[in-house]
Amino acid sequence: MQPKHILVVDDDPEIRQLLSAYLGQSGYRVSTARDGQSMWALLGQDTIDLIILDLMMPADDGLDLCRQLQSRYPAPVIMLTARNAAVDRIVGLEIGADDYVTKPFDPRELLARTKAVLRRAGERPQAGAPSVSAGSEPEYLAFAGWKLDMRARQLESPEQLIISLPNSDFHVLRSLLLQPNRPLSRDYLVRQAFGRPLNNGDRAIDVCISRLRQHLEHDSRHPVLLRTIRNEGYMIHLDRTGKA
Protein backbone atom coordinates (compact mmCIF):
# COMPACT_ATOMS: atom_id res chain seq x y z
CA MET A 1 0.00 0.00 0.00
CA GLN A 2 1.31 3.43 -0.94
CA PRO A 3 1.87 5.79 2.02
CA LYS A 4 -0.53 8.70 2.34
CA HIS A 5 0.82 11.88 0.77
CA ILE A 6 0.69 14.99 2.97
CA LEU A 7 1.35 18.53 1.79
CA VAL A 8 2.58 21.01 4.43
CA VAL A 9 2.02 24.65 3.44
CA ASP A 10 3.82 27.10 5.73
CA ASP A 11 6.10 30.09 5.18
CA ASP A 12 8.32 29.08 8.13
CA PRO A 13 11.14 26.81 6.87
CA GLU A 14 11.73 25.38 10.38
CA ILE A 15 8.13 24.20 10.63
CA ARG A 16 8.28 22.73 7.13
CA GLN A 17 11.46 20.86 8.03
CA LEU A 18 10.10 19.71 11.40
CA LEU A 19 6.85 18.35 9.99
CA SER A 20 8.51 16.82 6.95
CA ALA A 21 10.90 14.87 9.19
CA TYR A 22 8.36 13.96 11.90
CA LEU A 23 5.54 12.89 9.58
CA GLY A 24 8.02 11.14 7.32
CA GLN A 25 9.31 9.10 10.25
CA SER A 26 5.68 8.20 11.02
CA GLY A 27 5.26 6.54 7.63
CA TYR A 28 3.85 9.34 5.50
CA ARG A 29 5.13 10.77 2.26
CA VAL A 30 5.53 14.53 2.79
CA SER A 31 5.84 17.44 0.38
CA THR A 32 6.17 21.08 1.45
CA ALA A 33 5.25 24.47 0.02
CA ARG A 34 6.18 27.94 1.29
CA ASP A 35 3.18 29.80 -0.17
CA GLY A 36 -0.03 29.49 -2.15
CA GLN A 37 1.68 29.62 -5.54
CA SER A 38 3.96 26.68 -4.79
CA MET A 39 1.02 24.84 -3.17
CA TRP A 40 -1.05 25.04 -6.36
CA ALA A 41 1.95 23.95 -8.43
CA LEU A 42 2.41 20.83 -6.30
CA LEU A 43 -1.31 20.04 -6.34
CA GLY A 44 -1.17 20.12 -10.13
CA GLN A 45 1.69 17.62 -10.22
CA ASP A 46 0.72 14.92 -7.75
CA THR A 47 -2.09 13.41 -5.70
CA ILE A 48 -2.32 14.80 -2.17
CA ASP A 49 -4.30 13.01 0.55
CA LEU A 50 -4.15 15.73 3.23
CA ILE A 51 -3.12 19.40 3.36
CA ILE A 52 -1.72 21.01 6.51
CA LEU A 53 -2.23 24.72 5.89
CA ASP A 54 -0.88 27.69 7.85
CA LEU A 55 -3.46 30.47 7.90
CA MET A 56 -1.00 33.24 8.78
CA MET A 57 1.35 33.43 5.79
CA PRO A 58 2.53 36.96 4.88
CA ALA A 59 2.10 36.51 1.13
CA ASP A 60 -1.25 34.70 1.20
CA ASP A 61 -4.61 34.75 2.95
CA GLY A 62 -4.81 31.26 4.41
CA LEU A 63 -8.58 31.43 4.79
CA ASP A 64 -8.95 32.34 1.13
CA LEU A 65 -6.68 29.44 0.15
CA CYS A 66 -8.76 27.13 2.34
CA ARG A 67 -11.95 28.35 0.65
CA GLN A 68 -10.47 27.81 -2.82
CA LEU A 69 -9.33 24.31 -1.91
CA GLN A 70 -12.90 23.25 -1.16
CA SER A 71 -13.89 23.77 -4.80
CA ARG A 72 -10.61 23.25 -6.65
CA TYR A 73 -8.94 20.41 -4.73
CA PRO A 74 -11.24 18.92 -2.09
CA ALA A 75 -8.60 17.12 0.00
CA PRO A 76 -8.99 17.20 3.80
CA VAL A 77 -7.43 20.28 5.40
CA ILE A 78 -5.92 20.75 8.86
CA MET A 79 -5.37 24.42 9.68
CA LEU A 80 -2.41 25.77 11.62
CA THR A 81 -3.47 28.90 13.49
CA ALA A 82 -2.09 31.28 16.09
CA ARG A 83 -3.23 30.51 19.62
CA ASN A 84 -5.26 33.73 19.88
CA ALA A 85 -6.81 33.48 16.39
CA ALA A 86 -10.15 32.03 17.54
CA VAL A 87 -12.11 33.86 14.84
CA ASP A 88 -9.89 32.44 12.10
CA ARG A 89 -10.38 28.92 13.46
CA ILE A 90 -14.16 29.31 13.47
CA VAL A 91 -14.24 30.79 9.97
CA GLY A 92 -11.90 28.07 8.71
CA LEU A 93 -14.17 25.36 10.06
CA GLU A 94 -17.20 27.12 8.60
CA ILE A 95 -15.71 27.08 5.09
CA GLY A 96 -14.91 23.40 5.28
CA ALA A 97 -11.58 22.72 7.00
CA ASP A 98 -11.57 19.36 8.76
CA ASP A 99 -9.67 20.32 11.93
CA TYR A 100 -7.18 22.79 13.36
CA VAL A 101 -4.05 22.86 15.53
CA THR A 102 -2.85 26.00 17.31
CA LYS A 103 0.74 27.24 17.30
CA PRO A 104 2.97 26.48 19.08
CA PHE A 105 1.97 22.83 18.83
CA ASP A 106 3.23 19.44 19.91
CA PRO A 107 4.05 17.38 16.78
CA ARG A 108 2.48 14.38 18.49
CA GLU A 109 -0.85 16.22 18.67
CA LEU A 110 -0.65 17.13 14.98
CA LEU A 111 0.17 13.49 14.15
CA ALA A 112 -2.89 12.33 16.10
CA ARG A 113 -5.12 14.86 14.28
CA THR A 114 -3.60 13.78 10.95
CA LYS A 115 -4.38 10.12 11.61
CA ALA A 116 -7.94 10.95 12.67
CA VAL A 117 -8.68 13.14 9.64
CA LEU A 118 -7.19 10.61 7.20
CA ARG A 119 -9.15 7.80 8.84
CA ARG A 120 -12.38 9.72 8.48
CA ALA A 121 -11.57 10.66 4.88
CA GLY A 122 -10.89 7.00 4.14
CA GLU A 123 -14.33 6.02 5.44
CA ARG A 124 -15.98 7.79 2.49
CA PRO A 125 -17.13 5.07 0.05
CA GLN A 126 -15.55 5.21 -3.39
CA ALA A 127 -17.55 5.51 -6.59
CA GLY A 128 -18.82 2.12 -7.62
CA ALA A 129 -18.59 0.66 -4.13
CA PRO A 130 -21.06 -2.17 -3.45
CA SER A 131 -24.37 -1.43 -1.78
CA VAL A 132 -24.65 -1.71 1.97
CA SER A 133 -25.32 -5.30 2.91
CA ALA A 134 -28.26 -6.48 4.94
CA GLY A 135 -27.84 -6.01 8.66
CA SER A 136 -25.27 -3.22 8.32
CA GLU A 137 -25.80 0.52 8.40
CA PRO A 138 -28.66 1.64 6.10
CA GLU A 139 -28.00 3.48 2.87
CA TYR A 140 -30.29 6.33 3.92
CA LEU A 141 -31.60 7.83 7.13
CA ALA A 142 -34.95 9.54 6.55
CA PHE A 143 -36.18 12.22 8.95
CA ALA A 144 -38.61 15.16 8.87
CA GLY A 145 -38.90 15.01 5.07
CA TRP A 146 -35.11 14.92 4.65
CA LYS A 147 -32.82 12.04 3.71
CA LEU A 148 -29.19 11.57 4.70
CA ASP A 149 -27.35 9.51 2.09
CA MET A 150 -24.88 7.44 4.11
CA ARG A 151 -22.76 6.51 1.10
CA ALA A 152 -22.47 9.86 -0.68
CA ARG A 153 -22.62 11.83 2.59
CA GLN A 154 -25.21 14.15 1.14
CA LEU A 155 -28.48 15.59 2.34
CA GLU A 156 -31.58 15.47 0.17
CA SER A 157 -34.14 18.13 1.04
CA PRO A 158 -37.92 17.64 0.94
CA GLU A 159 -37.75 19.47 -2.43
CA GLN A 160 -35.11 16.92 -3.59
CA LEU A 161 -32.26 19.41 -3.56
CA ILE A 162 -28.88 17.78 -2.91
CA ILE A 163 -26.53 19.29 -0.31
CA SER A 164 -22.98 17.98 0.09
CA LEU A 165 -21.72 17.91 3.68
CA PRO A 166 -18.22 18.30 5.11
CA ASN A 167 -17.01 15.12 6.83
CA SER A 168 -17.44 16.64 10.28
CA ASP A 169 -21.05 17.73 9.65
CA PHE A 170 -21.92 14.32 8.26
CA HIS A 171 -20.60 12.53 11.35
CA VAL A 172 -22.41 14.91 13.70
CA LEU A 173 -25.75 14.52 11.91
CA ARG A 174 -25.32 10.76 11.58
CA SER A 175 -24.61 10.44 15.32
CA LEU A 176 -27.68 12.50 16.23
CA LEU A 177 -29.95 10.58 13.84
CA LEU A 178 -28.82 7.22 15.15
CA GLN A 179 -29.86 8.32 18.65
CA PRO A 180 -32.87 10.62 18.16
CA ASN A 181 -34.47 12.44 21.10
CA ARG A 182 -31.37 11.77 23.19
CA PRO A 183 -28.96 14.56 24.18
CA LEU A 184 -25.41 13.86 23.02
CA SER A 185 -22.56 15.66 24.72
CA ARG A 186 -20.24 17.98 22.83
CA ASP A 187 -17.32 15.74 23.84
CA TYR A 188 -19.04 12.70 22.32
CA LEU A 189 -19.82 14.57 19.11
CA VAL A 190 -16.24 15.89 18.82
CA ARG A 191 -14.96 12.33 19.11
CA GLN A 192 -17.39 11.16 16.41
CA ALA A 193 -16.66 14.07 14.05
CA PHE A 194 -12.92 14.63 14.60
CA GLY A 195 -11.66 11.51 16.34
CA ARG A 196 -10.30 13.42 19.34
CA PRO A 197 -11.45 14.64 22.77
CA LEU A 198 -12.99 18.05 23.37
CA ASN A 199 -10.48 20.81 24.14
CA ASN A 200 -11.09 23.83 26.35
CA GLY A 201 -12.68 26.60 24.30
CA ASP A 202 -13.23 24.25 21.36
CA ARG A 203 -16.21 25.43 19.27
CA ALA A 204 -15.81 23.03 16.36
CA ILE A 205 -19.05 21.16 17.15
CA ASP A 206 -20.97 24.41 17.59
CA VAL A 207 -19.83 25.38 14.08
CA CYS A 208 -21.02 22.04 12.70
CA ILE A 209 -24.41 22.43 14.38
CA SER A 210 -24.71 26.00 13.09
CA ARG A 211 -24.05 24.87 9.51
CA LEU A 212 -26.54 22.01 9.80
CA ARG A 213 -29.19 24.34 11.19
CA GLN A 214 -28.72 26.63 8.19
CA HIS A 215 -29.79 23.69 6.02
CA LEU A 216 -32.41 22.02 8.19
CA GLU A 217 -34.23 24.73 10.13
CA HIS A 218 -36.77 27.23 8.83
CA ASP A 219 -35.32 29.71 11.34
CA SER A 220 -31.83 28.75 12.52
CA ARG A 221 -32.11 31.24 15.41
CA HIS A 222 -35.10 29.31 16.78
CA PRO A 223 -34.30 25.66 15.99
CA VAL A 224 -37.01 23.03 16.23
CA LEU A 225 -35.14 20.01 14.89
CA LEU A 226 -31.54 20.42 16.13
CA ARG A 227 -31.99 21.47 19.73
CA THR A 228 -29.48 22.70 22.27
CA ILE A 229 -29.91 20.92 25.60
CA ARG A 230 -28.46 23.14 28.30
CA ASN A 231 -25.51 21.60 30.17
CA GLU A 232 -25.87 18.39 28.16
CA GLY A 233 -25.17 19.02 24.47
CA TYR A 234 -27.30 18.67 21.36
CA MET A 235 -30.27 16.54 20.35
CA ILE A 236 -32.28 15.92 17.20
CA HIS A 237 -35.98 16.03 18.07
CA LEU A 238 -38.23 13.64 16.12
CA ASP A 239 -41.60 12.11 16.85
CA ARG A 240 -42.31 8.42 16.32
CA THR A 241 -43.03 8.97 12.64
CA GLY A 242 -39.65 10.65 12.10
CA LYS A 243 -41.11 14.15 11.89
CA ALA A 244 -39.68 17.18 13.71
What is the per-residue pLDDT for 242?
59
Return d(Cα 193, Cα 196) in angstroms, integer: 8
Q: What tens digit of pLDDT does each residue of 143-190 get? A: 999 999 988 888 999 999 999 888 788 999 999 999 999 999 999 998
| Positions of CATH 3.40.50.2300 in the chain | 5-121
pTM (predicted TM-score):
0.64
pLDDT in tens, 19-36: 999 999 999 999 999 999
Tens-place pLDDT, residues 182-214: 999 999 998 888 878 887 777 889 989 999 999
Residues forming CATH 1.10.10.10 domain(s) in the chain: 140-236
Q: 5-121 — its CATH code?
A: 3.40.50.2300
Q: Which fold has domain 140-236?
A: Arc Repressor Mutant, subunit A (1.10.10)
